[in-house]
């Protein structure tokens, strides 16, 4: 197990280097330049050229990458070219916000979807199973912008039960943040519930057909013990893998939710940085999400290995 | 002749013009404001003309005194705004988020009321020489920056010189190019500034007023990093600013401004700002009651706001446009008949209805439009006329119609406008292919290859400009920095210079008529409408000042229970 963890951690290094190079190269393809982004469409070309020169944005790509990389690895993440604020605290704050939203959403999504999926799997082909499958699938296909707008209109505009923003006023106690995150977490639940629940259902159905479950039942074990001791443990393997792969998206891919609910997460930060050629901010934000994504997958693999001794033994 | 004599004579001239019917009472008010007469003096001039002193202008509901309750002191207003793309720097800001924010803390020499007329702010008077090439501004005395330093002529010189310096990154440089150069601004004494222009420019006060967003006054020692050192003479003090998220401002207890009753401004204690980029999200915030005011509301998606009983959407006669430019250096737009052919395909009323529910003012391919700029001559109406369009196509060498490409950014209502043009050109045999690109791509590149200045035909959004002359200076002259049409008409340029070299209203009207005729006949750009601006607020909010453009003034805003 330790070898697995060590190998995966080591693999992160070349992955991050490659990702950072790709970001730099892809940013070149985007239209515009940082000088124009800072000074706007109505600045003269001379002004833009002067600023680009001052920022070093007119230097060759490899030179700019080397300059950025040498600073980044030594902890000098620099300042945002547009916002003139230090990159490190800005990225960490946005990442923290995204982690909180993702964590809050996962706390709701994971138990609910597993419960629903296993319940459906245990009652395969029943009216309830079909009802759960159809309803969760229907929720999954609703774009989060649509479900978000409808939810805001119902709960914030009409009923006024929940706040329309995802951030409480400054100075509010930390606990208030969870109240403000309820509304944005619901569209995420709609999206993820169907996906994870179906994985849990399929896992349950597959495990229920295994000979060792039949044996356990024939041995006369109580149903509760069969389900919790044997079915759940084995049915969770594909579900945990799916959850691990969704964490990255839940942290870095919530641009729509962050935009709609005015939430300062890292997804919106990355999009803004990409659109304005703010490379120090973009690089740091993308690499931070990449690290989280890889760590989440590693944790998922560890959990899967713990659940399934054959994987653990196989290394 | 000294300033006072000149002003007295000019006042008498204005009175005679009104009495003889050569000028309307509204035009008198506009001209009086251009030449720095105070509201009191303007009222006296109107009184001297006889009759009531009320203006016939279509004042907004917010500005209509009869509908406004007595001011309520104290309280906090929550304002929703798009975030500034860049950091807040008065010298470089160019978007709504930055402009609205900065204009709460820093002030202009001249203000704009909600009909786009000039009114004194940090400058009390502004007087031209005989050909409007030298302007003398008298400054308000006793004004202090919020760091305690006095506001004086040296600060004006430093602020303006900073803006005309190419190295400063000033967003105002292009607008001032060719009109005011480095070294042209001088302090005569501590309260008098002289602007020595590169050429006569009768609209110069508009280039240093609240519609020229970067011309706020900063201390002479301003060194940048404004969010950390938020200095200005304005009614608010920046208490907290989180980029792209929120800001808080509290009232400046030493602010110089007082209302007509002598009450200290601002009325409110605090302004809380929340920055929201997405219009749908912003509208939902307004509907939920989470915020009190949106200084500028876009039409698309705002229908629900009009129907909301808790909100009031005020309309202001805006001057913003969507410029549909024909690049006359590219085929087939060298041919005037073909440009006119497209113009006669447009049903401007239908476009206005489709895009703005009929609320905007129609345009007829000239900046001189009296419904928007009151002193303008009335241009001939250009109605949709397919017979004429086909005749023009034939005389332009395209009897079987033509295929053209219209480049447009996916931004605001520009794509919808492109689709309307496409549909309306089709019956005349003009097949329009829409090249829709991203906003960033539209403005990307250098002056020699950026799509917005180099496409054969494109649509560019322009925010409010206070006079037709300022628009023409920006895009229709050989020296214009932002000419998408690349139209170069020596006759227009010559008349324009004469138009800007005189202060005489009758002479200016004569030249304006010529300019309008040339522009409409040549049709370098299509101007189908002037956009009426919207401002959304709770029905308990009153007193928000400003012309509904990016600029708005909250010093007299208040909220009732």
CA A210 to chain centre: 33
Would the CB atoms of A83 and B280 count as touching at under 8 Å? no
Tell me the mean pLDDT in the region B239-262: 94
Residue B352 has pLDDT above 80, yes or no: yes
The residue with greater pLDDT, B385 or B19, is: B385
B62 or B287: whose pLDDT is higher? Answer: B287
pLDDT in tens, B300-344: 888 899 999 999 999 887 899 999 999 999 999 999 999 999 999
Per-residue confidence (pLDDT) for residue B344, from 0 to 100 = 98
Query: Are the C-beta atoms of residues B370 and B383 closer than 8 Å to each other?
Result: no
Q: State how far the Cα of B554 lies from the Cα of B499, in Å rounded to an integer.
A: 35
The answer to whether residue B304 neighbours chain A at the CB level (below 8 Å) is: no
| pLDDT for res A101 | 95
Parallel, antiparallel, or unpaired for β B134-139 and B110-112?
unpaired
**3-class secondary structure per residue, A41-72:** CCCCHHHHHHHHHHHCCCCCHHHHHHHHHHHH
Checking if the pLDDT of A77 tops 50, the result is: yes
Contact between chains at A42 and B174 (C-beta distance less than 8 A): yes
Kindly determine whether residue B92 and residue A262, on different chains, have CB atoms separated by under 8 Å: no
Backbone Cα Rg of chain B: 23
**Contact (CB<8Å) A41/B452:** yes
Average of pLDDT values for A213-228? 90
- Closest chain B residue to A83, measured at CA: B87
Residues paired with B185 in a beta bridge: B195
Rounded mean pLDDT of B13-31? Answer: 54
Residue labelled with tokens 């110069």: B204
Q: Which helix (H) or strand (E) holds B237?
A: strand B236-242
| Mean pLDDT, all residues of chain A | 91
Buried (b) or exposed (e) across A37-56, using 16+ Cβ within 10 A?
bbbbbbbbbebbbbbbeebe
Are the beta carbons of B440 and A31 separated by less than 8 Å? yes
Residue B67 confidence class, pLDDT cut points 50, 70, 90: low
Which pLDDT belongs to residue B318? 85
Q: What is the mean pLDDT of residues B506-521?
A: 97
CA distances from B498 to B10, B199, B311 (A): 19, 11, 47
What residue in A sits closest to B289 (Cα-Cα)? A157
By the CB < 8 Å criterion, does B445 face chain A?
A: yes
Query: If you search the block for the tokens 């690049």, which residue do you land on?
Result: B327
Asked if B225 lies within 8 A of A84 by C-beta distance, the reply is yes
CB nearest to B284's CB, from A42, A164, A170: A164
- What Rg do the C-alpha atoms of chain A give, in angstroms? 24
Q: What is the 3-state secondary structure (H, E, C) of B288-325?
A: HCCCCEEEEECCCCCHHHHHCCCEEEEEEEEEEEEEEE
Range with lowest mean pLDDT among A235-249, B101-115, B352-366: A235-249
Distance CA B380, CA B507 (A): 20
Residues of B (399-438) whose Cβ lies below 8 Å from A:
437-438
Nearest to B472 by CA among B459, B487, B457: B487
pLDDT band at B9 (very low <50, low <70, confident <90, very high): low
**Gap from A143 CA to chain B (nearest CA, Å):** 15
Q: State residue A166's pLDDT score.
A: 94
Res A209 pLDDT > 50: yes
Q: CA-to-CA distance for B208 and B204, rounded, in angstroms?
A: 7
d(C-alpha B474, C-alpha B178), whole Å: 11
pLDDT tens column, A33-62: 899 999 988 888 889 999 999 999 999 999
Sign, CA torsion B23/B29/B34/B38: positive
Q: Is the pLDDT of residue B289 over 90?
A: yes
Architecture of domain B317-532: Roll (3.10)
pLDDT at residue B55 is higher than 70: no
pLDDT digits (tens, 9 = 90+) for B518-533: 999 999 999 999 999 8
Give the pLDDT score at A138: 92
Phi, psi of B266, rounded to the nearest 5 degrees: -80, 165
Smallest CA–CA distance from A275 into chain B, residue: B440
Distance CA B199, CA B207 (A): 14
The C-alpha atoms of residue B475 and residue B393 are separated, in whole angstroms, by 26
What's the Cα-to-Cα distance from B380 to each of B441, B471, B513, B521, B524, rounded to whole Å? 37, 20, 11, 10, 17
Which residues of A lie inside 8 Å of B (Cβ-Cβ)?
30-33, 36-48, 50-51, 82-85, 149, 152-153, 156-157, 160, 163-165, 167, 169-170, 259-262, 264, 272, 275-276
Q: What percent of chain A lies above the pLDDT cut of 90?
A: 65
**Contact status of B169 with chain A (Cβ, < 8 Å):** yes
Out of A37, A156, A260, the one facing B278 most closely (by C-beta) is A260
What DSSP assignment string belongs to A268-307? HHHHHHHHTT-HHHHHHHHHHHHHHHHHHHHHHHHHHHHH
Find the mean pLDDT for residues B491-520: 96
pLDDT, tens digit, 9 for 90 and up, residues A140-198: 999 999 999 999 999 999 999 999 999 998 889 999 999 999 999 999 999 999 889 99
For residues B218 and B104, what is the distance between their CA atoms, to the nearest angstrom?
13
Question: How many A×B Cβ pairs under 8 Å?
Answer: 120
Nearest CA in chain A to B481: A44
Pull the structure tokens for residue B498: 């004469």
Q: How confident is the model at residue A288, as a pLDDT?
A: 94
Q: What is the pTM of this model?
A: 0.85
Q: How far apart are CA B107 and CA B380, in angstroms?
A: 39
Which among B413, B190, B178 has a CA at the least distance from the CA of B302?
A: B413
Q: Which residue of A has its CA nearest to B445?
A: A32
Q: Mean pLDDT highest for which of A161-165, A245-249, B338-342, B465-469?
A: B338-342
Residue where the block lists tokens 């639940």: A189
Cβ–Cβ of A45/B446 closer than 8 Å? Answer: yes
Nearest CB to A44; choose among B173, B245, B280: B173
Of A231-235, B89-93, B118-122, B422-426, least confident by mean pLDDT is A231-235
| A90 vs A77: CA distance, rounded Å | 11
Cβ pair B36, B205 in contact under 8 A: yes
Rounded distance, CA A132 to CA B402, Å?
A: 57
In percent, how much of chain B has pLDDT > 90? 74
Please give the share of chain B, as a percent, with pLDDT higher than 70.
88
DSSP-derived pairing of the beta strands B402-409 and B430-437: parallel
- Please state whether beta strands B76-81 and B270-275 pair in parallel, antiparallel, or not at all (unpaired): parallel
What are the pLDDT digits (tens) for A275-314?
899 999 999 999 999 999 999 889 988 888 888 777 665 5
Strands B558-559 and B541-542 come out as antiparallel
Mean per-residue pLDDT, A104-131: 93
DSSP string, A159-196: S--S-SSSSPPTT--TTHHHHHHHHHHHHHHHHHHHHH
- Please name the helix (run of DSSP H) or strand (run of DSSP E) that holds residue A97, with its range, or none: helix A87-122
CB B310 within 8 A of CB B538: yes
Of B485, B549, B561, B560, give the one whose Cα is nearest residue B114. Answer: B549
Mean pLDDT of B510-523: 98
Residue B404's DSSP bridge partners are: B432
How far does B486 lie from chain A, in Å, by closest CA? Answer: 16
Q: Which domains does chain A have, with CATH numbers?
A: 31-76 (no CATH), 87-314 (1.10.3720.10)
CA distance B492 to A241: 71
Q: Which residues between 487 and 546 in chain B have a beta carbon less than 8 angstroms from any beta carbon of chain A?
A: none
Tens digits of per-residue pLDDT, B532-561?
A: 989 999 999 999 988 756 778 999 999 998
> β-pairing, B402-409 with B457-462?
parallel
Long-range contacts of B431-435 (CB under 8 A, 24+ apart): B431/B401, B431/B402, B431/B403, B431/B404, B432/B404, B432/B405, B432/B406, B433/B403, B433/B404, B433/B405, B433/B406, B434/B405, B434/B406, B434/B408, B435/B405, B435/B406, B435/B407, B435/B408
Give B81's contacts in chain A (Cβ within 8 Å).
none
Nearest to A36 among B177, B288, B444 (CB): B444
C-alpha dist (Å) from residue A176 to A25, A63, A181: 42, 47, 9
Q: How far apart are alpha carbons B155 and B151 in whole angstroms? A: 6
Average pLDDT over residues B478-502: 95
Confidence (pLDDT) at B22? 46
Long-range contacts of B254-262, Cβ-Cβ distance < 8 Å, separation of 24 or more: B254/B144, B254/B146, B255/B555, B256/B140, B256/B142, B256/B143, B256/B144, B257/B555, B259/B71, B259/B556
Chain B residues whose beta carbon lies within 8 Å of the beta carbon of residue A33: 444
pLDDT score at B503: 87
Spell out which residues of chain B touch residue A27, defining contact as CB-CB under 8 Å. Answer: none
pLDDT value for B492: 98
Using 50, 70 and 90 to split pLDDT, how confident is the model at B446? confident
Contact present, B132 and B200 (Cβ < 8 Å) = yes
């Amino acid at each position: 197990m330790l070898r697995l963890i060590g190998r995966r951690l080591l693999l992160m290094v070349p992955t991050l280097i490659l990702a950072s190079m790709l970001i730099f190269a892809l940013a070149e393809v985007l239209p515009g330049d940082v000088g124009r982004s800072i000074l706007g469409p109505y600045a003269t070309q001379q002004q833009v050229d002067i600023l680009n020169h001052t920022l070093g944005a007119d230097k060759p790509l490899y030179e700019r990458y080397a300059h950025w990389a040498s600073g980044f690895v030594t902890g000098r993440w620099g300042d945002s070219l547009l916002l003139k604020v230090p990159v490190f605290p800005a990225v960490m704050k946005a990442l923290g916000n995204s982690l909180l939203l993702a964590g809050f959403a996962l706390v709701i999504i994971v138990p609910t979807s597993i419960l629903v999926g296993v319940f459906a799997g245990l009652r395969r082909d029943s009216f309830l199973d079909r009802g759960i499958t159809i309803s969760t699938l229907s929720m999954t296909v609703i774009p989060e912008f649509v479900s978000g707008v409808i939810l805001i209109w119902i709960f914030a505009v009409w009923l006024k039960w929940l706040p329309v923003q995802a951030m409480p006023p400054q100075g509010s106690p930390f606990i208030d943040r969870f109240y403000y995150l309820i509304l944005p977490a619901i569209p995420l639940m709609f999206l993820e519930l169907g996906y994870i629940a179906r994985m849990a259902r399929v896992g349950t159905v597959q495990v229920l057909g295994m000979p060792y479950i039949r044996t356990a039942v024939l041995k006369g074990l109580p149903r509760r013990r069969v389900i919790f001791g044997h079915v759940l443990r084995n049915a969770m393997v594909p579900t945990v893998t799916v959850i691990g792969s969704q964490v990255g998206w839940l942290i870095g891919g919530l641009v729509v939710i962050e935009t709609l609910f005015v939430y300062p997460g890292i997804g919106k930060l990355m999009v803004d940085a990409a659109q304005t050629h703010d490379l120090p901010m973009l690089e740091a934000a993308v690499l931070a999400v990449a690290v989280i994504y890889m760590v989440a997958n590693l944790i998922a693999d560890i959990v899967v290995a713990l659940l399934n001794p054959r994987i653990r033994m196989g290394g | 002749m000294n300033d006072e004599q000149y002003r007295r004579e000019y006042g008498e001239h204005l009175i005679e013009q009104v009495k003889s019917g050569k000028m309307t009472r509204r035009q008198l008010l506009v001209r009086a404001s251009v030449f720095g007469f105070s509201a009191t003096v303007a009222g006296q001039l109107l009184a001297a003309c006889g009759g009531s002193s009320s203006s016939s202008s279509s004042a907004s509901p917010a500005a209509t005194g009869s509908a406004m309750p007595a001011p309520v002191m104290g309280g906090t207003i929550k304002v929703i705004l798009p975030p500034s793309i860049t950091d807040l720097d008065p010298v470089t800001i160019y978007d709504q988020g930055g402009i609205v924010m900065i204009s709460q803390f820093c002030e202009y020499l001249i203000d704009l009321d909600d009909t786009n007329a000039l009114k004194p702010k940090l400058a009390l008077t502004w007087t031209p020489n005989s050909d409007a090439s030298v302007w003398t501004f008298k400054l308000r005395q006793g004004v202090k920056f919020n760091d305690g330093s006095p506001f004086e002529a040296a600060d004006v010189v430093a602020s303006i010189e900073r803006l005309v310096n190419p190295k400063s990154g000033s967003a105002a440089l292009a607008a001032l190019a060719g009109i005011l150069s480095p070294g042209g601004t001088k302090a005569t004494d501590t309260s008098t500034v002289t602007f020595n222009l590169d050429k006569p420019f009768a609209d110069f006060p508009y280039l240093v007023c609240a519609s020229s967003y970067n011309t706020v006054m900063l201390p002479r020692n301003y060194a940048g990093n404004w969010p950390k050192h938020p200095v200005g003479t304005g009614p608010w003090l920046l208490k907290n600013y989180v980029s792209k998220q929120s800001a808080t401002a509290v009232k400046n207890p030493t602010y110089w401004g007082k209302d007509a009753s002598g009450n200290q401004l601002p009325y409110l204690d605090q302004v809380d700002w929340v920055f929201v980029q997405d219009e749908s999200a912003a509208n939902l915030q307004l509907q939920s009651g989470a915020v009190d005011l949106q200084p500028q509301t876009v039409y698309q998606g705002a229908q629900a706001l009009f129907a909301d009983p808790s909100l009031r959407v005020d309309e202001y006669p805006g001057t913003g446009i969507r410029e549909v430019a024909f690049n006359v250096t590219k085929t087939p737009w060298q041919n005037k008949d073909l440009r006119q052919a497209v113009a006669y395909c447009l049903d401007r009323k239908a476009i206005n209805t489709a895009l703005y529910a009929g609320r905007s003012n129609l345009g007829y391919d000239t900046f001189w439009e009296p419904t928007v700029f009151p002193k303008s001559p009335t241009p001939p109406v250009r109605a949709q006329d397919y017979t004429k369009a086909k005749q023009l196509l034939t005389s332009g060498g395209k009897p079987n119609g033509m295929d053209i490409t219209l480049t447009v950014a996916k931004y605001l209502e520009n794509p919808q406008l492109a689709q309307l043009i496409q549909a309306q050109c089709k019956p005349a045999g003009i097949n329009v292919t829409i090249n829709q690109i991203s906003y960033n791509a539209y403005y990307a590149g250098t002056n020699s290859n950026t799509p917005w200045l180099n496409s054969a035909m494109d649509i560019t959004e322009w925010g409010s400009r206070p006079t037709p002359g300022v628009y023409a200076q920006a895009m229709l002259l050989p020296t214009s920095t932002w000419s998408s049409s690349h139209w170069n008409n020596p006759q227009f340029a010559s008349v324009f210079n004469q138009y800007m070299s005189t202060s005489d209203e009758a002479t200016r009207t004569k030249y304006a008529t010529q300019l309008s005729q040339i522009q409409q006949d040549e049709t370098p750009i299509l101007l189908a409408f002037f956009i009426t601006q919207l401002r959304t607020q709770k029905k308990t909010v009153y007193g928000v000042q400003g012309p509904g453009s990016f600029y708005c003034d909250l010093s007299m805003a208040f909220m009732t229970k």
